[in-house]
Amino acid sequence: MRHGVRLGLDPGDARIGVARSDPTGFLATPLETVKKGRGDLARLQEIVAEIAEESTMLEVVVGLPRSLKGGENPATAKVRDFAASLARRVAPVPVRLVDERLTTVSAEAMLRDRGRKGQDRRAVVDMAAAVVILQHALDSERASGTAPGEIVEVGH
């Protein structure tokens, strides 16, 4: 298992859920929710810089929404564009895309099971989805011995 903190992102239309791992890559925990729009990439760049100051920043893992059959769709294209913009901002820290099918559904079910209600749940579901995405990537790497998902090439 590679050593270093990973950041997990669940980019949505209104908010971006953010999670982080411990340096050993064992556990994902919620970090914050970033409002989508002006300043979102700058805030994510700040988070990466803050983590890099305190620890080894390994990579950013972005959830890639696919159809249930695994195909690409308009949401997939939007996230690919977002990830490419982010990769340019946080280079040389690599950005990876990982399959995120059903993570928001899983996160909402988990929060509902823990008694979170309506508005309260919506406020944290993006962070919870980011945790699910990142934890899946960590578990996948631990099981396979290879980095998860696909690397985002930094275009200029």
pLDDT value of residue 123: 60
Residue 36 lies in a domain: yes
pLDDT value of residue 90: 97
Interatomic CA distance for residues 65 and 68, integer angstroms: 9
Rg (CA), the chain: 15
Instruction: Report the candidate in 97, 81, 84, 77 with the shortest Cα–Cα distance to residue 149.
Output: 97
The Cα diameter of the chain in Å comes to 46
Interatomic CA distance for residues 26 and 45, integer angstroms: 23
Tens-digit pLDDT string for the chain (156 aa): 899 999 999 998 899 999 999 999 999 999 999 999 999 999 999 999 999 999 999 999 999 988 777 788 888 999 999 999 999 999 999 999 998 865 666 666 666 767 766 666 566 788 888 999 999 999 999 999 999 999 999 975
Residue 155 lies in a domain: no
Domain that holds residue 41: 5-149
Residue 154 lies in a domain: no
| Structural domains in the chain (count) | 1
Q: Which residues of 138-149 are buried (b: 16+ CB within 10 A; e: fewer)?
A: beebeeeeebbb
pLDDT value of residue 118: 63
Interatomic CA distance for residues 141 and 10, integer angstroms: 19
Tell me the three state secondary structure of residue 6. strand
pLDDT value of residue 106: 66
Interatomic CA distance for residues 84 and 95, integer angstroms: 8
Residue 11 lies in a domain: yes
Q: What is the CATH number of the domain that holds 20?
A: 3.30.420.140
pLDDT value of residue 10: 94
pLDDT value of residue 116: 63
Tell me 55's DSSP state.
S
Q: Quickly tell me which residue has 């298992």 as its tokens.
A: 1
